[in-house]
Each structure stands twice: as C-alpha cells, then as structure tokens.
C-alpha cells in the first residue's frame, strides 16, 4: 500500500548509548538536505504514544541512485511492538509529500481522499517548508492505525470487545492512554495486546542523583491468547528512571488476573501496589533524613562528609583518649526496617596494602525513633 504523507523522525533520548546516538547522526548525514530537517524533527521526538519509546531510523536508500538518500525505513513504537514503515520521498520533486508503505497490509488498503483528509489532515495540507510536517503526519497516521486496530478487535470474540469497551468507558482511564494490536498483523490473529499507561502521581518520590520525576512512567502490557482469549498474561513495565528508583527496594510482583476478572477491576490493584511502594520509599527516605539530621545536630563538630541528597552515608571523626578514628554510617534503602552498617576506621594504622585498618560493626541496634509513625 502506498500513501502520500510527510515523515518525521525522532532523535534518540539523551540517555541512549553514545554509539547509537552517533549512528543516528551518521544516518542523517546520508539524507538529502531537503529532507534532513524533517527527519531530524522525527528523531528528536522524546517519546511517542502510551509508552516511552522513540522513533528509530532503520535504514536509508535513494530512489534515483544518488549518494544522498530520499527514502528511509522507520521503527515506530506502538502497543509494545515496533511498526516498520517505509517513507518514500523524491529528491527531484522535494516539494511533494512522501509515499508510505506499511508493514500491515490490512491498513489503508484502498484509502479514499475524504477519509485521508479527515484522519490525516497534515497530509492533505502538506507543507514542505514546515520542519514538523512529517512528524505531524506520523502522529496522525499512528492515531488512524489505532482506530484500525480497534475495528479489527471488535470483529473478534466478545471478551476482547468487552474488555476494550469497559476500559474506554472507565472514568479513571483515558482512551489516549490505551493502545491495542492484534498479532501477527495482516493475518488471522492468535494474540491481542492491550498497552495501558497507568495514571500515577510520581512527583512525591524523593530526589535522587539521576531520577527526574517528569520522566517517570509505568505501563501495563496485557496479552490475551487462547481460543476464547481467556488466557490473560499481564506484565508491568517501568521507565528507566523508575527502575533505578525501585532497584534496591523489594521487587514489584503484580498479581495474576483471575478467571472471569476484567481489566477495569485489575488495574486499580496494580496502581495501589505501585502507590504503596512509592509511599514506602518516601517513608524510608524520611527515616534516613531524620537519622542523618540527628547526627548532624549531636555531632556537628565531627562531621567529615554526608550524603545531602539521598541520605545514605555519613562519616564522623571522633576522638577517645587522644585516639582519633572515623565512623562510617551506611543506611540501606529500606532503613529502618534493615539496620545500618557501621564501620570503624583507624586514622593511624595501615595494612600491608596501605589501607586504613577498619572494622565493621554488624550488631547495631534498631532505634524506633527513626521509624515514621
């Protein structure tokens, strides 16, 4: 299927590996100068759709044998999958919009002008001078593709149709936070996936050295299989920033979906699980902060250094009968549930490896004054 539309490419996020980032720029250097700004805007898009994936450039080619390419393949995240769409420009007529070849042959098999004008207005009003033209078309096409998948879903067994209808009529779930897809695309489906962004407030999470709350996100990917779509497998995905925040906390084990249970009843349970974990992290953070604050008050003249962001570590220089030594405190993420590690370190004696002699104090006691009530 060939469709005239504009293309946009999203640049990789800043936290992507340097070699991947450089690869994108090498690709861009191979693009015809007329289309480079369009592609650059697409690749610069920080996230797309329900998840936090970005559009990636798969390959570049030329329609007329030139060194600079005017055709490229994009990998577009959607419902836990990557859609491969070919975008075809013509270097000899750069003012014309591109053709599209979709990996799903059931999508826009025989489009009419009125339908395209309604669902992809940026294509009907193609403006080659606008650097965002291609990105707008891709976003509109992706929305159109979602409608196409919903229509396919309605032709399946009642279970899938009922699940989707209940979700979009749930006042706590926005339709824009749901993506669905039947797999494999273009043939008789044996699997259906619902990708659902969970609306959770992460702004109360304590600060960390790397975490930025605006990047925090959680997505539930639910897979339906079986003759009557009654085999339901849920998977919870967290953005990279949340994975780092939860890394040392107890693992999040989401419950299974019980027979005859629906997503509208299951999703609140998952959201409560995450919310409870957030509250636990906040409480532990406050306990560590109170512990460090107490030592700062009691031993303010002996402080060597301390962690002023996450309150994991603190070091004191103490003296006993003219003997000076260091006391290192390390508070685990789950403090005060788990006791601190205290290390005593002489400032005089050295080992054979020129390291200060140290001793761990493992039998430290738990003081309930640092537990949040």
Query: What pLDDT is stored for residue 17 in this prediction?
Result: 37
What share of residues in the chain are helix, strand, coil (percent, to 5)?
Answer: 30, 25, 45
Counting residues of the chain whose pLDDT is more than 90, the rounded percentage is 58
pLDDT at res. 368: 55
Q: Which of 89-98, 149-158, 206-215, 261-270 has the lowest mean pLDDT?
A: 206-215
Given the structure tokens 């084990």, which residue do they identify? 253
Nearest to 192 by CA among 219, 227, 229, 164: 229
Instruction: Return phi, psi of residue 163, to 5°.
Output: -60, -45
- Is residue 128 predicted with pLDDT exceeding 60? yes
**Across the chain, what does the average pLDDT equal?**
84
**In the predicted structure, residue 9 carries a pLDDT above the cut 80:** no
Burial of residue 3 (CB within 10 Å: 0-12, 13-18, 19+) is buried
Residue 111: the pLDDT is: 80
Confidence label for 372 from pLDDT (cuts 50, 70 and 90): low
What pLDDT was estimated at residue 19?
40
Tell me, what's the pLDDT at 370?
Answer: 55
Whole-number pLDDT of residue 332: 93
**Which sign does the torsion angle of CA 360, 364, 369, 370 carry?**
positive
**Residues in the chain, how many?**
373
Overall average pLDDT of the 173-182 stretch: 94
Buried b / exposed e along 348-368 (16+ C-beta atoms within 10 A): eeeeeeeeeeeeeeeeeeeee
Give the per-residue pLDDT at 7.
26
Lowest mean pLDDT across 115-124, 249-258, 334-343 = 249-258
DSSP 213: G
The confidence score (pLDDT) of residue 373 equals 45
Asked if residue 290 has pLDDT above 90, the reply is yes
Q: For the residues 267-288, what does the mean pLDDT come to?
A: 94
Q: Is the pLDDT of residue 22 over 50?
A: no
pLDDT over 50 at 139, yes or no: yes
Task: Give mean pLDDT, residues 149-170.
Answer: 92
pLDDT of residue 358: 58
**What mean pLDDT is predicted for residues 328-336?**
93
Check pLDDT > 70 for residue 13.
no
* pLDDT greater than 80 at residue 365: no
Q: What is the mean pLDDT of residues 279-294?
A: 95
Q: Is the pLDDT of residue 8 over 90?
A: no
The answer to whether 149 and 182 are in contact (CB under 8 A) is: yes
Quickly state the pLDDT bin for 351 (edges 50, 70, 90).
low
Distances (CA, A) of 299 to 137, 220, 365: 63, 47, 19
CB contact burial 150-189 (16+ within 10 A = b; e otherwise) = bebbeebeebbeebbeebeebeebeeebbbbbbbebeeeb
DSSP codes, 292-335: HHHHHHHTTTSEEEE-SSS--EEEEEEEETTEEEEEEEE--TTT
Kind of pairing between the strands at 56-61 and 71-78:
antiparallel
């Amino acid at each position: 299927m060939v469709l005239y539309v504009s293309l946009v490419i999203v640049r990789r996020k800043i936290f992507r590996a340097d070699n991947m980032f450089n690869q994108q720029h090498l690709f861009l250097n191979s693009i015809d100068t007329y289309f480079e700004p369009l592609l650059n805007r697409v690749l610069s898009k920080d996230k797309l759709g329900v998840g936090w994936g970005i559009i990636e450039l798969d390959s570049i080619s030329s329609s007329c044998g030139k060194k600079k390419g005017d055709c490229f393949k994009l990998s577009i995240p959607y419902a836990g999958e990557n859609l491969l769409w070919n975008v075809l420009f013509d270097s000899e007529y750069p003012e014309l919009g591109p053709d599209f070849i979709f990996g799903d042959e059931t999508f826009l098999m025989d489009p009419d002008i009125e339908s395209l004008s309604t669902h992809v207005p940026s294509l009907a009003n193609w403006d080659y001078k606008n650097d965002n033209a291609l990105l707008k078309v891709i976003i509109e096409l992706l929305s159109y593709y979602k409608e196409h998948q919903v229509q396919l879903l309605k032709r399946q067994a009642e279970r899938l149709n009922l699940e989707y209808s209940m979700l979009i009529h749930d006042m706590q779930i926005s339709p824009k936070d749901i993506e669905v897809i039947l797999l494999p695309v273009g043939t008789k489906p044996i699997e259906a996936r619902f990708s659902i962004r969970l609306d959770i407030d992460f702004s109360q999470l304590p600060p960390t050295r790397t975490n930025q709350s605006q990047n925090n996100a959680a997505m539930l990917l639910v897979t339906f299989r079986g003759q009557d779509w009654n085999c339901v497998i849920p998977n919870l995905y967290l953005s990279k920033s949340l994975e780092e925040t939860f890394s040392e906390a107890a693992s999040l084990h989401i419950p299974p979906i019980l027979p005859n249970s629906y997503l509208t009843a299951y999703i609140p349970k998952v959201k409560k699980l995450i919310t409870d974990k957030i509250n636990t992290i906040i409480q532990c953070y406050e306990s560590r902060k109170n512990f460090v604050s107490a030592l700062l008050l009691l031993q303010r003249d002996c402080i060597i250094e301390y962690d002023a962001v996450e309150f994991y570590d603190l070091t004191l220089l103490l003296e006993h009968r003219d003997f000076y030594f260091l006391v290192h405190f390390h508070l685990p993420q789950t403090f005060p549930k788990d006791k601190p590690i205290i290390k005593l370190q002489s400032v005089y004696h050295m080992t054979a490896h020129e390291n200060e002699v140290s001793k761990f104090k493992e039998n430290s006691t738990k003081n309930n004054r640092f537990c949040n009530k």
